[in-house]
Amino acid sequence: MNKDMWAFEKEARKSGHSLIAGIDEAGRGPLAGPVVSAAVVLPEIFGIEDVDDSKKLSPKKRADLFPRIQAAALAVGVGIVGPETIDSINILQAALLSMAKAVENLVIQPDYLLIDGPFPIPLNMPQKMLPKGDSLSISIAAASIVAKVTRDRIMVDFDRTYPEYGFSKHKGYPTKTHREAIRKFGCSPIHRKTFKGVKEHLTE
């Protein structure tokens, strides 16, 4: 890897910050289920290799890295915002809210935030927005893995409750199979009723 995935963490430390949290979310695009964010505070010495943007990693690799990140991190927080709130405030605001919840759920409060994406989150603390941050910052990359694995597990659990939709396979994303299931069975309680692909099939 040519780029320094620690560059933004180093920059923050040079500015006097010591507890730097990387924050990322998973689940903005699906038609069903929550949006899940993670905040991860890594120590300066962190020897786990292969931590990268979760989208670049296989499910097996993410599952392998997940407990190792949790064990090595100084703190890990998760924030979950469900479909009712997503429908109420829109997916962008729900994603930012889940990011704020993830930070609030850290057992150690950070003094600086590195956030994936161009938008600040609703917390009064120093933060740097990094579009494509999960490919630029080790802390955000670690958060992307935690968020993705956590959300995938939630959707596998939902598959047991609503087996007709196949959530364990597509995790709520708008695959052909998922769209066909919505057409056939209508919407479940965890579908996002304001999303195209769902709202057309509401019966109430």
Write down the mean pLDDT value for the chain.
Answer: 96
The confidence score (pLDDT) of residue 141 equals: 97
Predicted confidence (pLDDT) per residue in 86-126, tens digit: 999 999 999 999 999 999 999 999 999 999 999 999 999 99
- Alpha-carbon distance 17 to 11, whole Å? 9
The confidence score (pLDDT) of residue 80 equals: 98
Contact 26, 41 (CB under 8 A): no
- Where helices occur in 110-137 by DSSP H, the ranges are none
- Alpha-carbon distance 93 to 99, whole Å? 10
Contact 37, 99 (CB under 8 A): yes
The CB density around residue 132, as the number of other CB atoms within 10 Å, is 12
The confidence score (pLDDT) of residue 204 equals: 59
Residue 195 has pLDDT above 50, yes or no: yes
The confidence score (pLDDT) of residue 1 equals: 43
The confidence score (pLDDT) of residue 128 equals: 98
SS3 call for 88 = helix
- Where helices occur in 15-137 by DSSP H, the ranges are 59-72, 83-89, 91-104
Spell out the domains of the chain, with CATH numbers in brackets.
7-161 (3.30.420.10)
Residue 142 has pLDDT above 80, yes or no: yes
Please report which confidence band the pLDDT of residue 53 belongs to, taking 50, 70 and 90 as the band edges.
Answer: confident
The confidence score (pLDDT) of residue 153 equals: 98
Task: Give the predicted TM-score (pTM) of the model.
Answer: 0.96
Residue 15 has pLDDT above 90, yes or no: yes
Residue 154 has pLDDT above 90, yes or no: yes
- Where helices occur in the chain by DSSP H, the ranges are 7-14, 59-72, 83-89, 91-104, 138-161, 167-170, 176-185
The confidence score (pLDDT) of residue 203 equals: 73
Please give the average per-residue pLDDT across 47-67, as a whole number. 93
Strands 35-41 and 127-130 come out as unpaired
